[in-house]
Amino acid sequence: MQSFLKGVLAGSVGVMCSVSVLGQQGGRTLPPAASAPLDSLRAALHRPGLPDTARVLQLVAISKRYMATDLDSARWYSEQGLALARRCGFGRGEVKALNNLAAAAFYSSDYPTAQHTFEAELRAAQRAHDQENIGHAYLGLGNVASVLKNEAQARAYFMQAREAYAACRPRNIRGELLVLHNLANGYLSATATPRQLARVRMFVNQGLRLSNQANSPQTTKLKLVLGTVQALSHQPDSATATWQNVLRVCHAHADFSTEGEAWLHLADLAQSQNQPELALLRAQQAAKLFRQLKDDNLLAQILDMKASLLAALHRPEAYDTLRRYTELRDTLLSRERLEAVATAQAQFKQTEQQARIRALEQERRIAELEAGQRTVRTRLLLGGLALGGLLLAGAGMGTYRRRQQRREAALRNQLAADLHDDVGSLLTQISMQTDLLQEGLVPLGAQPALWAGLAENSRAALRQLNDVVWNLDAQNDSVPDLLNRLRDYAHEVLVPTGRDVRFVTDKVWESPALSATVRRHLYFIYKEVMHNILKYAPATATVTVALHCQMPLLVLEVVNDGPVLSAPAESGRSSGHGLRNIRARAQAMGGSATAGAQATGGFAVRVQVPVS
């Protein structure tokens, strides 16, 4: 039964998108598009006086025709239709184009793009109150989650798709049946427990009740699953009767894909019952259908089964069949490796996105805590002036100081926890990169780059951890300690790139005390400046870091004397955001920041903030 279940589950992903992408084709694989209809569709695009809305629908129709044969062309026509629909404000056309574009990305194993596009389709369909395409979008998101092994999220999306299909007027029975099929497949495995099998049977029965006809083409996929449940429940006679019923319905409606799967299941069942001759006859029927459909995955399963059966029957054709299976399986393994790498990359990108979300959440919480401190300071000051008593003012300041100390302690604890999450995200990336190398999923030519990325992530994790320790140590609340940290960081990131770094500072500090908030913000500003130097200053540049006390201000100035490779503040790239962040941090501390090119060449950033 093990190979039997693999045959059932292997085709489930392809079926999952059939409603949202292939429309009325149901479970059947689309045949190659005929040239004449495509030529007429393309010719219609250039008809004089054709409204833009009709042109959008023509582009979507061409994209759909290409979906089974040429994914690049399908994607291109979808993109053209999407751009035109947005220009002319055609909401229904935008939704249809997004659905085709997301499906093309999914079938190309570009799962991050597919997820992003399905989410865009969902938003557009919700704006248009289009329940059918809301269902298609949720169905697509469930497909992506299922491929990425997030089964809980996939089931949640599938349930939302079912609700949307049920809300259609008229009700979208075909969509609901497909969702129920996907939900049933999600619980189906060779090790399924009786409770899981009962849940699969529940979904199948719900789907059969939805259909008006007991033997309709719409229910054949569900009956395939029902036969699997019966076989796993040790009811071979019931399973045989169910699959033979599927054969009759599929043959009458020319559903070759589902008919071939039914023959494959019957052959596997006969083999498990030690009936090799019957199994061989059934496998030959399945092979004939899947050769017509050019389904290499299921054809490989059939060849493997036939080779085993022929060997059991001592037939001389066993060797040739096994050789054909080996050749086909080698081709399929190459595709599987590429898909496995694409899946791992998609999971890796999801981890990166979650790390960025945590970083933004950390900044938001820090800003809220600092705003709370400023509010407390203002309220205490106003209360002291209203009371007008020196004694009460002193007591109020004492209370404020204690509260401030507690809030600073809470701020440091929160900062430590959040930065620990960042270190954890880097360690997750290191783990995923190591898994890719250990599993042999990375081509030899790409391995050096992956090793380099692994080393860089390790160094970044160590630097992040060092920053956590340094930020939380109260003994570092002094200007000399800040200066030492600036030196260490510059030597970590600049010196390995060949850039020369020099420090200019006061010999004696009149006021060495430095608040934790000022120290932390100034250090983050300094790291942002170093990041811009690495991106935009040449490797031959000399970087000069100056730190001076000009009471009551602390002045940090970083200058690189090399030619600027790109204008950071005006390029519109990420560095422009970095300079805005620098100014925002300086203003939050009651200071200011300036940045710009020097007349003598190079680029300078100057920050001045209050010491306390």
What residue ranges do the domains of the chain occupy?
A: 329-472, 475-612
565 Cβ contact list (under 8 Å, min separation 6)? 536, 537, 538
| Stretch 590-610: mean pLDDT | 87
Q: Which of 113-127, 268-282, 467-481 has the lowest mean pLDDT?
A: 467-481
**Residue, of 3 and 92, whose pLDDT is higher:** 92
**Predicted local confidence at residue 31, as pLDDT:** 35
**Predicted local confidence at residue 15, as pLDDT:** 36
**Residue, of 36 and 531, whose pLDDT is higher:** 531
Nearest-angstrom CA–CA distance, 95 and 122: 8
**Residue, of 575 and 414, whose pLDDT is higher:** 414
Read off the pLDDT band of 608 (50, 70, 90): very high
> Is pLDDT of 573 > 70?
no
Read off the pLDDT band of 342 (50, 70, 90): low
**Predicted local confidence at residue 590, as pLDDT:** 87
Rg, C-alpha atoms of the chain: 33
**Residue, of 326 and 571, whose pLDDT is higher:** 326
pLDDT, tens digit (0-9, with 9 covering 90-100), for 227-250? 999 988 889 999 999 999 999 988
Give the closest residue to 41 by CA, choosing from 60, 26, 22.
60
pLDDT, tens digit (0-9, with 9 covering 90-100), for 294-323? 777 777 777 788 778 778 888 777 666 766
> Is pLDDT of 344 > 60?
no
Q: Kindly state the percentage of the chain with pLDDT values over 70.
A: 70
**Predicted local confidence at residue 89, as pLDDT:** 92
| Stretch 96-117: mean pLDDT | 91
Long-range contacts of 200-209 (CB under 8 A, 24+ apart): 200/225, 200/229, 201/226, 201/229, 204/180, 204/229, 206/180, 207/176, 207/177, 207/180, 207/181
**Predicted local confidence at residue 461, as pLDDT:** 67
pLDDT, tens digit (0-9, with 9 covering 90-100), for 27-82? 333 333 444 467 777 777 778 888 999 999 989 998 988 887 888 889 999 999 99
**Predicted local confidence at residue 51, as pLDDT:** 92
| Stretch 361-374: mean pLDDT | 72
For the domain made up of 329-472, give the CATH fold. Topoisomerase I; Chain A, domain 4 (1.10.132)
**Predicted local confidence at residue 507, as pLDDT:** 63
DSSP string, 134-167: HHHHHHHHHHHHHHTT-HHHHHHHHHHHHHHHHT
**Predicted local confidence at residue 421, as pLDDT:** 57
474 Cβ contact list (under 8 Å, min separation 6)? 516
> Is pLDDT of 138 > 70?
yes
**Predicted local confidence at residue 389, as pLDDT:** 62
**Predicted local confidence at residue 26, as pLDDT:** 33
Cα dihedral across residues 213, 217, 219, 224: positive or negative:
positive
Long-range contacts of 431-434 (CB under 8 A, 24+ apart): 432/344, 432/347, 432/348, 432/351, 433/348, 433/457
**Residue, of 45 and 344, whose pLDDT is higher:** 45
**Predicted local confidence at residue 133, as pLDDT:** 94
Between the alpha carbon of residue 198 and those of residues 3, 91, 154, 157, 303, the distances in Å are 22, 42, 20, 21, 33
Nearest-angstrom CA–CA distance, 263 and 258: 9
Q: Which architecture, in CATH terms, is 475-612?
A: 2-Layer Sandwich (3.30)
**Average pLDDT of the residues of the chain:** 77
Give the closest residue to 585 by CA, choosing from 552, 609, 567, 559.
609
Nearest-angstrom CA–CA distance, 388 and 277: 104
**Residue, of 153 and 377, whose pLDDT is higher:** 153
> Is pLDDT of 601 > 80?
no
Max mean pLDDT among 7-21, 164-178, 353-367 falls in: 164-178
> Is pLDDT of 289 > 60?
yes
pLDDT, tens digit (0-9, with 9 covering 90-100), for 290-299? 888 777 777 7
> Is pLDDT of 21 > 60?
no
